[in-house]
Amino acid sequence: MKREHRPDFLEAGSAQAKRKGFSLASLSILAAMAGLALSLALQLSERNRGRPLSGPAPAFELGLFDGDNIALADYRGGVVLLNFWASWCPPCRDEALDLQALYSDYREAGFTIIGVNMLESSPRKALDFMEEFGLAYPNGEDIEQRVTKLYRVEGPPESFLIDQAGNVRQFYIGSINYDRVSGAIEALLAEGR
């Protein structure tokens, strides 16, 4: 079979059209991917907007399960781990013994934990949780989610490590373990000496 000869300019035009078609499709895909990436970046930015990841920790008062009331300002001069938790939360259960160990080991040096119980179905469940794990540090129920909203907590557990001057120095999402946090606590306690 004899191949029909096409002039060079037709062959070149055909190849050029194929390259342009591929380039336009590639550009369209890239533009869509860039748009998606921008959208995700804006969503993450909005999600963290207002969350105190550094600087002054928002002031609050909290009614404790034992009937006392505390304010974050009561702990100025010490290091505070503000921990948001719920009894039904598996990662909260995973971290409970480590939190109590941190409190026991560092409280004499000027460290405390303030537990903020959130999204609980009943105070009894929270009290049972505290008793099960022997939690001796201050814990209170966040009625109407005031503290939770102030710190823009999305779900338990989330924790904020606050220095002696009342500034947020670390933010932890998910369960905390002793080794992950003890070094940061020691460093902040050393700053205050």
Give the per-residue pLDDT at 42.
Answer: 52
Q: Return mean pLDDT, the chain.
A: 85
pLDDT tops 80 at residue 45: no
pLDDT tops 90 at residue 59: yes
Q: Where are the beta strands (DSSP E) in 52-110?
A: 55-56, 61-63, 69-71, 79-85
Give the span between the Cα atoms of 21 and 90, in whole angstroms.
Answer: 52
Give the span between the Cα atoms of 187 and 193, in whole angstroms.
Answer: 10
45-49, 128-132, 154-158, 185-189, range with the lowest pLDDT: 45-49
Residues 6 or more apart whose CB falls under 8 angstroms from that of 65 comprise 117, 123, 126, 127, 130, 139, 140, 141
Residues 6 or more apart whose CB falls under 8 angstroms from that of 158 comprise 83, 84, 151, 171, 172, 173, 174
What angle do helix axes 90-106 and 178-191 make, rounded to 10 degrees? 40
pLDDT tops 80 at residue 50: no
Amino acid at 86: A
Q: What is the CATH number of domain 55-191?
A: 3.40.30.10
CA-angle at 32, arms to 29 and 37, nearest 5°: 125
Task: List the domain boundaries for the chain.
Answer: 1-49, 55-191
Query: Could you tell me the pTM of the whole model?
Result: 0.75
Which residue is it, tokens 């902040």? 188
Q: Report, as an integer, the average pLDDT of 91-99.
A: 98
- DSSP conformational letter for 151: T
Give the span between the Cα atoms of 3 and 32, in whole angstroms.
Answer: 42
Q: Report, as an integer, the average pLDDT of 83-106.
A: 98
Give the per-residue pLDDT at 17.
Answer: 45
The confidence band for 23, taking pLDDT boundaries of 50, 70 and 90, is low
Give the per-residue pLDDT at 162.
Answer: 98
pLDDT tops 90 at residue 27: no
Residues 6 or more apart whose CB falls under 8 angstroms from that of 51 comprise 151, 152, 171
